[in-house]
Amino acid sequence: MSDPCFLGIDVGSISTNLVAIAPGGEVLCELYRRGDGHPIDSVQACLAQLQEEAPGLAVRGVCTTGSGRMLAGAVVGADVVKNEISAHARATLHLHPDVRTIFEIGGQDSKVTVVRDGAVVDFSMNLVCAAGTGSFLDSQARRLNITIEELSAGAMLSQNPTTIAGRCTVFAESDMIHKQQVGHAQPDILMGLCHALVRNYLANVCAGKELKSPIVFQGGVSANQGICRAFRESLGCDIIVPRHHMVMGAYGAALIASRTGVKNTRYRGEKAATHKVVTKGFTCADCPNHCEIIEIRDGEEVIGRTGGRCGKWDGNGGGPRPQVDPVPDLLEMGVPEP
Amino acid sequence: MTQIAIPNIGNYTVALATAVESLGIKPWASTATTPEALKLGTEAAPESVCLPLKAHLGHFIAADRAGVEYALMVNSVGTCRLRYYRHMIEQILKDLGLKIRIFGLGFDGFKPPLVRHFDPGPITFLKPLFHAGEQIRAIDEMETLAWKTRPIELAHGETTRVMNKLLLELSRCRTLAESRAVRRTTASRFATIAVDRSKKPLKVGLVGEVSFLRDKCLNKNIEYLLGDQGIEVKNFFSLGEELRNIARIVLLNKNRGRELLDIADRYLQTTVGGHALDSVAHSIRCAELGYDGMVHLAPCGCMPEVGVRPILKRVSQDKDIPILELSFDEHTCDVGITTRLEAFADVLRERRRKRAAVGVS
**To which H or E segment does residue A123 belong?**
strand A119-125
Among residues of chain A, what percentage have pLDDT more than 70? 91
Mean of per-residue pLDDT scores for chain A: 85
Q: Class of the A3-88+249-274 domain?
A: alpha beta
State how far Cα A225 lies from the chain centre: 20
Give the CATH number of the domain where residue B350 resides: 3.40.50.11900
Lowest mean pLDDT among A61-75, A220-234, A294-308, B199-213: A294-308
Most confident range (mean pLDDT) of B55-64, B105-114, B351-360 is B55-64
Mutate to test the interface with A, among B3, B8, B34, B312 (most CBs of A within 10 A): B34
Sort out which chain A residues have CB atoms less than 8 A from B20's CB and list them: none
Residue A230 has pLDDT above 90, yes or no: yes
Q: Name the residue among B233, B75, B242, B38 with its Cα closest to residue B30.
A: B38
Q: Which residues pair with A239 in a beta bridge?
A: A215
Average pLDDT of span A158-181: 85
- Contact (CB, 8 A) for A305 and A313: yes
User: In this structure, are B50 and B190 located in the same domain?
Assistant: no
User: In this structure, are B225 and B99 located in the same domain?
Assistant: no
Contact: A128, B331; criterion CB under 8 Å: yes
The residue of chain B nearest to residue A286, with distances taken between CA atoms, is B164
State the fold for domain A97-241.
Nucleotidyltransferase; domain 5 (3.30.420)
**To which H or E segment does residue B285 belong?**
helix B276-289
Boundary of a domain, candidates B68, B87, B120: B120
Average pLDDT of span A288-300: 82
Residue B7 has pLDDT above 80, yes or no: yes
C-alpha to C-alpha distance for A88 and B349, rounded to whole angstroms: 17
Using the Cβ of B226 and the Cβ atoms of chain A, whether some distance falls under 8 Å is answered with no
C-alpha to C-alpha distance for A301 and A320, rounded to whole angstroms: 13
Q: What is the ipTM of this complex?
A: 0.84
How much is the pLDDT for B179?
94
Average pLDDT of span B83-103: 86
Those of residues 298-327 in B touching chain A at CB distance below 8 A are: 300, 310, 313, 322, 327
Boundary of a domain, candidates B173, B198, B223: B198
Please, which pLDDT band fits residue B187 given cuts at 50, 70 and 90?
very high
Residue A1 has pLDDT above 60, yes or no: no
Note whether A3-88+249-274 and A97-241 share their fold: yes
Please, which pLDDT band fits residue B243 given cuts at 50, 70 and 90?
confident
User: In this structure, are B206 and B336 located in the same domain?
Assistant: yes
Average pLDDT of span B5-14: 87
Can you give the C-alpha Rg of chain A in angstroms?
A: 22
Exposure on the CB side of residue A253, measured as CA atoms within 13 A: 33
C-alpha to C-alpha distance for B222 and B334, rounded to whole angstroms: 10
Sort out which chain B residues have CB atoms less than 8 A from A85's CB and list them: 339-340, 342-343, 346
Boundary of a domain, candidates B60, B90, B120: B120
How much is the pLDDT for B195?
92
Residue A330 has pLDDT above 60, yes or no: no
The strand ranges marked E within chain B are 3-5, 26-28, 70-73, 101-104, 202-208, 231-235, 293-299, 323-328
CA distances from B68 to B12, B27, B64 (A): 21, 9, 5
Mean of per-residue pLDDT scores for chain B: 86
Average pLDDT of span A266-285: 86
Contact: B164, A67; criterion CB under 8 Å: no
Contact: B160, A120; criterion CB under 8 Å: no
Residues 6+ apart with CB under 8 A from B323: B283, B293, B294, B295, B296, B312, B313, B315, B316
User: In this structure, are B205 and B194 located in the same domain?
Assistant: no
Sort out which chain B residues have CB atoms less than 8 A from A119's CB and list them: 350-351, 354
Among residues of chain B, what percentage have pLDDT more than 70? 92
User: In this structure, are B267 and B356 located in the same domain?
Assistant: yes
Sort out which chain A residues have CB atoms less than 8 A from B313's CB and list them: 208
Residue B360 has pLDDT above 80, yes or no: no
Contact: B339, A125; criterion CB under 8 Å: yes
Among residues of chain A, what percentage have pLDDT more than 90? 46
Residues 6+ apart with CB under 8 A from A43: A9, A11, A16, A72, A75, A76
Contact: A128, B31; criterion CB under 8 Å: no
Residue A42 has pLDDT above 50, yes or no: yes
Residues 6+ apart with CB under 8 A from A127: A204, B300, B327
User: In this structure, are B211 and B301 located in the same domain?
Assistant: yes
Helix axes A134-143, A186-200, angle to 10 degrees: 160
Q: Does this model's pTM top 0.95?
A: no
Q: Which of the two residues, A94 and B118, has the higher pLDDT score?
A: A94
Sort out which chain B residues have CB atoms less than 8 A from A123's CB and list them: 343-344, 347
User: In this structure, are B207 and B160 located in the same domain?
Assistant: no
Domain of B206? 200-361
Residue B252 has pLDDT above 70, yes or no: yes
Residue A3 has pLDDT above 90, yes or no: no
Average pLDDT of span B52-78: 84
Domain ranges of chain A: 3-88+249-274, 97-241, 276-338
User: In this structure, are B291 and B311 located in the same domain?
Assistant: yes
CA distances from B48 to A128, A171, B210 (A): 14, 19, 19
User: In this structure, are B153 and B216 located in the same domain?
Assistant: no
Give the CATH number of the domain where residue B83 resides: 3.40.50
Sort out which chain B residues have CB atoms less than 8 A from A336's CB and list them: 36
- Residue of B14, B34, B225 lying closest to A290 (CB–CB): B34
Residue B121 has pLDDT above 50, yes or no: yes
Other CB atoms within a 10 A radius of the CB of residue B29 amount to 22
How much is the pLDDT for B226?
92
- Please give the interface size between A and B, counted as residue pairs whose CB atoms are below 8 Å apart: 125
For residue B182, the one-letter residue type is V
Distance from the Cα of B256 to chain A's closest Cα (Å) equals: 31
How much is the pLDDT for A49?
92
C-alpha to C-alpha distance for B324 and B340, rounded to whole angstroms: 8
User: In this structure, are B210 and B321 located in the same domain?
Assistant: yes
User: In this structure, are B113 and B128 located in the same domain?
Assistant: no
Most confident range (mean pLDDT) of A227-231, B13-17, B224-228, B251-255 is A227-231
Distance from the Cα of A308 to chain B's closest Cα (Å) equals: 10
Using the Cβ of A213 and the Cβ atoms of chain B, whether some distance falls under 8 Å is answered with no
- Contact (CB, 8 A) for B25 and B118: yes
User: In this structure, are B286 and B358 located in the same domain?
Assistant: yes
Burial of B277 (0-12, 13-18, 19+ CB in 10 A): buried
Please, which pLDDT band fits residue B113 given cuts at 50, 70 and 90?
low
Most confident range (mean pLDDT) of A177-181, A197-201, A248-252, B154-158 is A248-252
